């Protein structure tokens, strides 16, 4: 599916997400979503769809749980395929959420029932009071400042500013303007370099950000270079280094933490493979005394937004959350009802079964670039009428 950001003059980007609709024999259905990003997990939308068919479909055909607890254990046991730099996390996330949603609806259980099935889930109270972080894209000084003022009206005091290469003057102009408020103690600022700085540039630029009032930098260098940079004598102290693109699996989290390659992790449900692998990453951070932040995928729908709201309520010790802003970013959303206020106000009260979302199937079909219909019966195959859909975007 292709989703285009809302608003005239918005960034010229689009996001291609995958949505899984799982229909059970009794008619109960569930939805899951993944946001494959080549710069994160190495996945494309087409590749992730192929992984769902080739890797997860055989197991789904055999699945016949007699309770929601059995379905939860099946979802928790979904494996992740690796190939070179690619990990199938977005595909796994979509399947996991679809399973939990479908069987939650079938057994009349909400995701809160996970606490009764898996020991330790939500036992430490989650992170409902985690500060919210607003992400400010580089839209030019005027529009970026307008976005900043908008989020300030909504009550945000923590901001993340996106940066490009070292010579990106627009980002630095905005950083200087925000820094004046930060130095007066009114704001908390983080810079997201998205791995665009070299190991030689990073210490100089981080020192400059520190003078402007920034307290954290996310992924200053490329994913494979983070450990070497963090251990170098030139690293600037007193500025938190957060791993984003370097962190996708619990194993990578363990290596980064053991090597003291960063001060904190950025967890994302699609990036890390779903609820259960993301909880493992949070546990790794807790064991090693690292901070953990929760992020959202770019242009996700209300499906991932609902899952993020639930995760915020069960993951302990989160230092901050960048809430899903699907209602603001998308021209059209496939979700007609979410269990909370669109991700702006933190964890949501439980409503209904499964994820608690209502998906507009007509909207889903209208926005889909490709539709695959697969029968999970032993002789099932891709339906003969499954075909590319023209247009796709709103």
Q: Identify whether the C-beta of residue 136 lies closer than 8 Å to the C-beta of residue 147.
A: yes
Is 90 exceeded by the pLDDT of residue 8?
no
The two tokens of residue 41 are 């997990």
Confidence of residue 1 (pLDDT cuts 50, 70, 90): very low
Specify whether 309 is located in the same domain as 162: yes
The two tokens of residue 181 are 């408020």
Whether residue 294 is contained in a domain is answered as yes
pLDDT of 270 reads: 96
Specify whether 225 is located in the same domain as 170: yes
Whether residue 331 is contained in a domain is answered as yes
Mean model confidence pLDDT for the chain? 83
Nearest partner of 33 among 383, 381, 376, 326, judged by Cα: 326
Specify whether 190 is located in the same domain as 323: yes
Residues 139-196 pLDDT 10s: 777 788 888 888 888 889 999 999 988 877 888 888 888 887 766 667 889 999 999 9
Is 80 exceeded by the pLDDT of residue 278?
yes
> CA-CA distance, 103 to 115, in Å (whole number)?
16
Is 50 exceeded by the pLDDT of residue 342?
no
Specify whether 159 is located in the same domain as 289: yes
Confidence of residue 387 (pLDDT cuts 50, 70, 90): very low
pLDDT of 328 reads: 64
Query: 161-172 in b/e burial notation, b at 16+ Cβ within 10 A?
Result: bbbeebeeeebb
Whether residue 343 is contained in a domain is answered as no
Specify whether 45 is located in the same domain as 138: no
Torsion on CA atoms 302, 323, 330, 24, rounded to nearest 10:
-20
Confidence of residue 301 (pLDDT cuts 50, 70, 90): confident
Is 90 exceeded by the pLDDT of residue 69?
yes
36-49: average pLDDT: 92
Per DSSP, the three-state class of 22 is strand
37-45: average pLDDT: 92
Confidence of residue 329 (pLDDT cuts 50, 70, 90): low
Q: Which residue has the higher pLDDT, 347 or 359?
A: 359
Nearest partner of 242 among 226, 228, 258, judged by Cα: 226
Share of the chain above pLDDT 90, in %: 46
Confidence of residue 346 (pLDDT cuts 50, 70, 90): very low
Nearest partner of 63 among 35, 91, 109, 96, judged by Cα: 96
Q: Which of 184-193, 218-227, 343-352 has the highest mean pLDDT?
A: 218-227
Confidence of residue 379 (pLDDT cuts 50, 70, 90): very low
> CA-CA distance, 22 to 376, in Å (whole number)?
10
Tally the C-alpha atoms within 13 A of residue 54's C-alpha that lie toward its C-beta. 9
Whether residue 375 is contained in a domain is answered as no
Specify whether 228 is located in the same domain as 99: no
Q: Identify whether the C-beta of residue 270 lies closer than 8 Å to the C-beta of residue 34.
A: yes
Specify whether 145 is located in the same domain as 85: no
Whether residue 346 is contained in a domain is answered as no
Specify whether 51 is located in the same domain as 198: no
Specify whether 280 is located in the same domain as 201: yes
Task: Tell me the H-state helices in the chain.
Answer: 45-51, 57-62, 68-76, 89-106, 114-117, 141-153, 169-183, 201-212, 226-230, 250-258, 269-272, 275-288, 302-314, 326-329, 361-367
Question: Which of 118-127, 131-140, 205-214 bottoms out in mean pLDDT, i.e. has the lowest?
Answer: 118-127
Question: Which of 80-94, 154-168, 229-243, 316-330 bottoms out in mean pLDDT, i.e. has the lowest?
Answer: 229-243
CATH of the domain at 155: 3.20.20.120
pLDDT of 372 reads: 78
pLDDT of 323 reads: 86
Per DSSP, the three-state class of 322 is coil
> CA-CA distance, 369 to 387, in Å (whole number)?
9
Number of compact structural domains in the chain: 2
Strand partners, 266: 293
Specify whether 143 is located in the same domain as 250: yes
Is 80 exceeded by the pLDDT of residue 341?
no
246-250: average pLDDT: 95
Residue recorded with tokens 């009428």: 385
CATH of the domain at 7: 3.30.390.10
Burial label, 363 (beta-carbon count in 10 A; 0-12, 13-18, 19+): middle
pLDDT of 169 reads: 84
pLDDT of 377 reads: 59
Domain range for 318 is: 133-337
Per DSSP, the three-state class of 337 is strand
Specify whether 31 is located in the same domain as 173: no
Whether residue 52 is contained in a domain is answered as yes
Whether residue 38 is contained in a domain is answered as yes
Q: Identify whether the C-beta of residue 72 lies closer than 8 Å to the C-beta of residue 118.
A: yes
The H or E element that residue 218 is part of is strand 216-218
Specify whether 312 is located in the same domain as 281: yes
Q: Which residue has the higher pLDDT, 15 or 392?
A: 15
Whether residue 81 is contained in a domain is answered as yes
Is 80 exceeded by the pLDDT of residue 90?
yes
């Amino acid at each position: 599916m292709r989703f285009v950001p809302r608003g005239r003059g918005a960034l010229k980007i689009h996001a291609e997400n995958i949505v899984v609709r799982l229909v059970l024999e009794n008619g109960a259905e569930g939805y899951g979503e993944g946001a494959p990003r080549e710069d994160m997990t190495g996945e494309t939308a087409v590749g992730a769809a192929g992984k769902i068919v080739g890797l997860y479909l055989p197991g789904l055909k055999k699945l016949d749980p007699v309770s929601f607890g059995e379905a939860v254990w099946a979802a928790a046991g979904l494996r992740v395929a690796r190939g070179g730099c690619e990990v199938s996390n977005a595909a796994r996330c979509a399947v996991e959420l679809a399973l939990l949603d479908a069987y939650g609806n079938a057994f009349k259980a909400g995701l809160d029932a996970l606490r009764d099935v898996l020991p330790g889930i939500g036992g430490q109270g989650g992170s409902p009071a985690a500060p919210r972080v607003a992400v400010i894209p580089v839209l030019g000084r005027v529009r970026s400042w307008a976005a900043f003022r908008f989020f300030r009206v909504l009550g945000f005091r923590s901001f993340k500013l996106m940066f490009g290469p070292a010579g990106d003057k627009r980002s630095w102009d905005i950083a200087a303007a925000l820094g004046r408020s930060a130095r007066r103690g009114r704001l908390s600022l983080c810079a997201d370099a998205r791995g665009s700085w070299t190991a030689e540039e990073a210490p100089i630029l981080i020192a400059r950000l520190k003078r402007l009032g920034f307290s954290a930098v996310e992924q200053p260098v490329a994913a494979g270079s983070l450990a070497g940079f963090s251990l170098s004598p030139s690293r600037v102290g007193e500025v938190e280094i957060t791993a984003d693109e370097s962190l996708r699996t619990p194993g990578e989290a363990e290596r980064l933490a053991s090597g003291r390659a960063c001060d904190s992790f950025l967890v994302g449900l699609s990036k890390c493979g779903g609820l259960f692998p993301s909880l493992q990453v949070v546990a790794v951070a807790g064991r090693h005394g690292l901070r953990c932040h929760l992020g959202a995928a770019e242009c996700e729908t209300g499906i991932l937004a609902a899952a993020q709201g639930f995760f915020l309520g069960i993951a302990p010790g989160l230092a901050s959350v960048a809430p899903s802003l699907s209602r603001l970013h998308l021209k059209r959303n496939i979700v007609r009802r979410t269990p909370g206020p669109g991700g702006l106000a933190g964890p949501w009260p439980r409503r209904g079964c499964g994820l608690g979302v209502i998906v507009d199937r007509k909207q889903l079909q209208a926005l889909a670039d490709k539709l695959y219909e697969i029968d999970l019966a032993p002789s099932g195959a891709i339906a003969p009428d499954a075909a590319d859909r023209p247009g796709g975007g709103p």
